[in-house]
Amino acid sequence: MHVYVDNDPLVLTDARALLASSPQGATAYIDVDLYDPARILGEAAQTLDFGKPVALMLMGILGHVESDDEARSIIERLMSVFPAGSYVAMYDGGDTDPDVVEATRIWNVSANPKYHLRSPVRLAALLSGLEMVDPGVASVTRWKPDAEAPAQPEIAQFAAVALRRSVRMCDGDDDIVEFADGVHVQPGGVRGRG
């Protein structure tokens, strides 16, 4: 099952090709702004089963969010309803190449929304609280490269994947932590498989 979220009317034309159901499941398009995670989750729940691990893919979109705190809050809110074993994958423009920085400055003179480049360290901080998958934040040309393909030059666009390893749940007076491998830990060190 797939849910595609965007608020660009031109994207809807391309999204229509994805909207046909396939043998793998349903595909839905949600016309909503990234700044409205509650609506995204409400509409996505009509297609996705939030009781099973989900992959959240934020591809080139977080650069449109100026504040790091706001971007991190959006990720946290979206991931908050997904169970242990869910992933977030992202890529965005980086501020490591002066030519890219200058091109973005020129773009932002007339662009709406503007695009905000981040350093790899700032991109990694957006995923705080999640377990980063190796190699962490890396240029898209260097993230899990094909060993047999010729090496590609590093570009100022960075990717990362992170896992939601555990979810804290409350059961009456006892806290239970659910891990992605199905192991539960209760107060007092009692462990069991779920």
DSSP states of the chain as a string? -EEEEE--HHHHHHHHTT-S-BTTB-EEEEE--TT-HHHHHHHHTTTS-TTS--EEEEES-GGG---HHHHHHHHHHHHTTSPTT-EEEEEEEBS--HHHHHHHHHHHHH-SS----B-HHHHHHTTTTSEEPTT-SEETTTSS--TTSPPPPP-SEEEEEEE--EEEEEETTEEEEEETTSEEEETTTEEEE-
How does pLDDT run along the chain (194 residues), one tens digit per residue?
A: 667 677 676 666 666 666 655 556 667 777 888 899 999 999 889 888 999 999 999 999 999 999 999 999 999 999 999 999 999 999 999 999 999 999 999 999 999 889 999 999 999 999 999 999 999 999 999 888 677 778 888 999 999 999 998 765 555 544 444 444 444 343 433 333 33
**Which pLDDT value is given to residue 177?**
47
Q: Tell me, what's the pLDDT at 101?
A: 98
pLDDT for the residue numbered 192: 36
pTM of the model: 0.79
User: Which CATH superfamily does the domain covering 54-163 fall into?
Assistant: Vaccinia Virus protein VP39 (3.40.50.150)
Say what the pLDDT of residue 185 is. Answer: 40
The pLDDT score that the predictor gives to residue 24 is: 63
Rama region for 85: left / alpha / beta (φ>0; ψ in -120 to 50; rest): left
Residue 168 confidence (pLDDT):
58
Please list the residue range(s) of the chain that carry CATH number 3.40.50.150.
54-163
Q: How many CB atoms lie within 10 A of CB 150?
A: 6
